[in-house]
């Protein structure tokens, strides 16, 4: 035993049971029963609502809950929570310093501190872990709760981002923000679990294991809340749905506070005095798209050069990327929950070639009643991480009315923004249940408005044709589409599938 009373042996993360594997233990079983009892009042209508944190076996296999000493973990990196001068004395940092040796303290002096919400890295020295990621959790005061939430989110997000940038395979996450800083444990746990979940969904392909390291006090809270964000079955997902907090942040898990978003209005009123800090990236994402906001110099001159063909291809690509990054920055800062609720764009399984399938449901886009710029932002936000690999799009034109049709100006604007990034890995666009009018419109649009897209579009008259490209179990099809296709084309016959 060492002076802190911790176990002296090294713990290999590969030997620890994953969250998915732990589903059958007695304690986890009791947790499932409690979830079921607390959700008995759920109505049948609520059962049909999809969870914002659906059952994902691939993500659950990456999650480990470990009650023990983070300093003993044999993984790529462990996390240490400290103060702004990186000199805080708490059980986590004390154990890490004892096991790492005196070199760690000398290395920390070179870092010259760390701001709240930031993450900095050092070597692991005598630890089994190769690296230590140091972060500073916020001091909690109820009066400044939103600032504390944003800072704590930044801690977890920056830790995960650093792990990804350094190609780390496994990370041991201690509970960030010590008792001295006064953050309520259950509130902090919600932020930790949802932030890691969203990161693994959107950017976690290279990360194999995330270990939530807890103490005896923290373990019951983590065991209670883990099923909400990492359900281990569809049954547990349904049982957890009514227990998920109303505030789950944006698509990255970041707390959303609309009144704190900065905008330049035509006639701005008196701004409320908010002392809470926002990230520079979020602020710039809100200031607008005019020349002053972009700080690009003489934009008219650039456009003239483009028309005259005097800008090089590299300069054009750089300008496209700069423009796309501005839109992406805005998309990450905007509250797009109302657009997400439409269920008009979502990721499903893979096609027969193993490529990601994205679904667009035309009837779910009530164009006259929604902000189309937010639709554009939502599309960019959802698709940004999808397009780094090969993917296909399936568009259900089924039963769309006049008010569901996207006009050519909107599509042209979308194409101009995402052309360079999204087109390369788009391998097919399946247009399901097209009408004569939609075929003509598609032909004109792909012939005269955009380039390089026509050959990727396939008009699919029935689901039987679609299933030759995407297996039925790999695509989530809206019930009204299934009903329409069965009524018009007859029931699907798997043994008589035709090819496109």
pLDDT tops 80 at residue 239: yes
Per-residue pLDDT, 144: 85
297-353 tens-digit pLDDT: 455 555 555 555 555 666 667 777 888 888 888 888 888 888 888 889 999 889 999
Determine the straight-line distance between the first and last CA of the chain, rounded to whole angstroms. 67
389 burial type by CB count under 10 A (0-12 exposed, 13-18 middle, 19+ buried)? exposed
Least confident of 71-75, 170-174, 201-205, 314-318: 314-318
Residue ranges of domains in the chain, CATH in brackets: 11-243 (3.40.220.10), 337-496 (3.40.525.10)
Query: Residue 3: CA atoms inside 13 Å, Cβ hemisphere, count?
Result: 7
The 3-state DSSP class for residue 104 equals: helix
| 163 close to 171: Cβ distance less than 8 angstroms | yes
H-assigned helices in 81-184: 91-100, 102-111, 145-165
Strand 426-432 versus strand 457-460 pairing type = parallel
Element (H, E) at 253: none
Looking at the chain, the whole-number percentage of residues with pLDDT higher than 90 is 51
The mean per-residue pLDDT over the stretch 261-286 comes to 43
pLDDT tops 70 at residue 283: no
H-assigned helices in 122-218: 145-165, 185-203
Averaged confidence pLDDT in the chain: 81
**The residue count for the chain:** 500
114-149 tens-digit pLDDT: 999 999 999 999 999 999 999 999 999 888 888 899
191-218 tens-digit pLDDT: 999 999 999 999 999 999 999 999 999 9
pLDDT tops 60 at residue 499: no
Out of 170-184, 249-263, 275-289, 481-495, the most confident range is 170-184
Nearest to residue 499, comparing CAs of 464, 455, 456? 464
Which whole-number Å values give the CA distances from 163 to 75, 281, 337, 442, in the listed order?
A: 12, 21, 28, 43
């Amino acid at each position: 035993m060492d002076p802190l009373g911790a176990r002296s042996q090294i713990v290999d993360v590969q030997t620890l049971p994953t969250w998915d594997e732990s589903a059958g233990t007695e304690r986890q079983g009791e947790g499932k029963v409690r979830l079921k009892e607390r959700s008995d009042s759920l109505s049948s209508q609520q059962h049909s609502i999809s969870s914002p944190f659906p059952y994902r076996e691939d993500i659950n296999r990456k999650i480990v809950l470990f009650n023990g000493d983070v300093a003993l973990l044999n993984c790529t990196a462990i996390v240490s929570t400290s103060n702004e001068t990186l000199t805080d004395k708490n059980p986590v940092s004390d154990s890490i310093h004892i096991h790492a040796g005196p070199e760690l303290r000398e290395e920390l002096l070179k870092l010259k501190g760390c701001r709240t919400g930031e993450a900095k890295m050092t070597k692991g020295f005598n630890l089994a872990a190769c690296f230590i990621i140091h972060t500073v959790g916020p001091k909690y005061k109820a009066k400044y709760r939103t600032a504390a939430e944003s800072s704590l989110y930044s801690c977890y997000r920056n830790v995960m981002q650093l792990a990804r940038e350094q190609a780390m395979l496994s990370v041991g996450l201690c509970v960030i923000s010590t008792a001295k800083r006064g953050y309520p444990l259950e509130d902090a746990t919600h932020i930790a679990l949802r932030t890691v979940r969203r990161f693994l969904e959107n950017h976690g392909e290279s990360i194999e294991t995330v270990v939530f390291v807890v103490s005896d006090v923290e373990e019951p809270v983590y065991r209670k809340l883990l099923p909400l964000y990492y359900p281990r079955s569809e049954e547990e997902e349904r049982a957890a749905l009514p227990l998920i907090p109303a505030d789950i942040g944006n698509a990255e898990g970041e707390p959303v506070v609309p009144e704190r978003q900065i905008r330049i209005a035509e006639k701005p009123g008196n701004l409320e005095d908010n002392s809470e800090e926002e990230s520079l990236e979020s602020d710039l994402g809100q200031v607008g798209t005019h020349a002053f906001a972009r700080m690009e110099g003489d934009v008219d001159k650039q456009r003239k050069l483009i028309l005259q063909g005097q800008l090089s291809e590299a300069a054009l690509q750089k300008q496209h990327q700069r423009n796309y990054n501005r839109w992406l920055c805005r998309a990450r800062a905007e509250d797009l929950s109302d657009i997400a609720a439409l269920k008009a764009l979502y990721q499903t399984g893979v096609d027969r070639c193993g490529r990601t399938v994205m679904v667009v449901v035309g009837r779910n886009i009530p164009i006259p009643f929604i902000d189309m710029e937010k639709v554009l932002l939502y599309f960019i936000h959802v698709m940004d991480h999808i397009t780094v690999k090969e993917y296909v799009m399936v568009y259900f034109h089924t039963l769309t009315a006049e008010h569901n049709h996207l006009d050519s100006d909107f599509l042209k604007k979308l194409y101009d923004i995402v052309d360079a990034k999204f087109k390369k890995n788009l391998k097919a666009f399946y247009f399901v249940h097209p009408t004569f009018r939609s075929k003509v419109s598609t032909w004109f649009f792909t012939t005269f408005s955009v380039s390089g897209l026509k050959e990727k579009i396939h008009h699919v008259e029935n689901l039987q044709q679609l299933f030759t490209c995407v297996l039925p179990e790999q695509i989530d099809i809206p019930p009204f589409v299934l009903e329409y296709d069965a009524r018009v084309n007859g029931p699907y016959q798997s043994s008589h599938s035709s090819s496109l």
